[in-house]
Amino acid sequence: MRDGRPVDATDYVAVEAPLQVRIGGVPFATIMRTPGQDRELAAGFLFAERVLRHPDDLGTIEHCVDTDASHPENIVNVGLTGASAAAAAEALAGRRAVVASSACGVCGRRSIEELATDCVPVEPVPDISGSVIAALPAALRRGQSAFQQTGGLHAAGLFATDGSLIAAAEDVGRHNAVDKVVGGRVLRDELPLRNTLLCVSGRTSFEIVQKAWAAGIPCVVAVSAPSSLAIEVAEAAGITLVGFARDGGFNTYTGQVGGSTGQRDADR
């Protein structure tokens, strides 16, 4: 309907399809995602889940080549070595295959205490410019070509401290977009991601800060609100957490940006 009248038109919609992640041929997780950058998504997801412990433990990661498989383009098989192979075997033995929706990821599966044991505090970025932070959402939007067509995709971008874009990804799931960005760096063996900024197009949840912590990203910026648990995790990790980055302004919840200091308080 346009101006109260029916109009025939063609609409473009975001694709959502399952990606089954197998470890050594055994199903581990099914992720509802937008196809594209599947290898990066699988690598980032397994790294955030602490199954892939180090990029050097990634033996192979490829789409299914079994011609008898139904929709092999929606299956990625991962081969792990070293400590990651042992971690994968333990994870496979200890739980059923995970289903991660595009809406919420694997919500709250790891506690702050587990993360604190498994991940060291990140190294803070010195002197983060407020003008750089304020410009990140617009820079990320310029890289959202699929969003321009569909209006139905989230995005995540990894930036240098001067605001230049390093990598970006789009997906129906906010968590998937972050996994794709981080997974690309895992495949390049570039972790930890010191002196970088992560910008996401929606709100900041516990899982997004968890993924940033695992990757060693010291600053997370979002155009919308953080959750209370996201703030707690960021504080424990030493991550600078910024929300409501829009229209040239932003809120600092933890850390410090351009003279704005985040303070955790029950009344704030």
User: Do residues 31 and 46 make contact, with C-beta atoms less than 8 angstroms apart?
Assistant: no
- Determine the pLDDT at residue 185: 97
Kind of pairing, strands 17-23 and 98-100? unpaired
pLDDT in tens, 224-257: 999 999 999 999 999 999 999 999 899 999 998 8
User: Which residue ranges make up each domain of the chain?
Assistant: 17-111, 130-261
Query: How far is the C-alpha of 195 from the C-alpha of 163, rounded, in Å?
Result: 11
- Determine the pLDDT at residue 193: 95
Six-digit token pair at 191?
């972790």
Six-digit token pair at 40?
């990066």
pLDDT in tens, 207-224: 999 999 999 999 999 999
- Determine the pLDDT at residue 265: 43
User: Is 104 known to be catalytic?
Assistant: yes
Class of domain 17-111: alpha beta
Compute mean pLDDT per 10 residues along the chain, 268 residues long, and list them.
Answer: 92 90 92 95 94 92 83 94 90 65 48 66 85 93 64 86 94 93 96 95 92 95 95 94 94 85 50
Annotated catalytic residue: which of 64, 104, 119, 219? 104
- Which CATH superfamily includes the segment(s) 130-261? Cytidine Deaminase, domain 2 (3.40.140.10)
Residue environment code for 248-263, b if the CB has 16+ CB neighbours within 10 A, otherwise e: eebbbbbbbbeebebe
Query: How far is the C-alpha of 171 from the C-alpha of 241, rounded, in Å?
Result: 22
pLDDT in tens, 85-109: 998 988 888 655 555 554 544 444 4
User: Do residues 31 and 41 make contact, with C-beta atoms less than 8 angstroms apart?
Assistant: yes
Assign 246 to helix, strand or coil: strand
User: Do residues 18 and 31 make contact, with C-beta atoms less than 8 angstroms apart?
Assistant: yes
- Determine the pLDDT at residue 151: 57
Kind of pairing, strands 165-171 and 219-222? unpaired
Q: Which amino acid is at 18?
A: P
User: Do residues 234 and 253 make contact, with C-beta atoms less than 8 angstroms apart?
Assistant: yes
Kind of pairing, strands 154-160 and 58-63? unpaired
Q: 192 preceded by cis ω (within 30°)?
A: yes
- Kindly tell me the burial class for residue 197, based on how many C-beta atoms sit within 10 Å of its own C-beta (0-12, 13-18, 19 or more): buried
Note the pTM of the prediction, 2 decimals: 0.87
User: Which of 100, 104, 97 is CA-nearest to residue 208?
Assistant: 104
- Determine the pLDDT at residue 124: 84
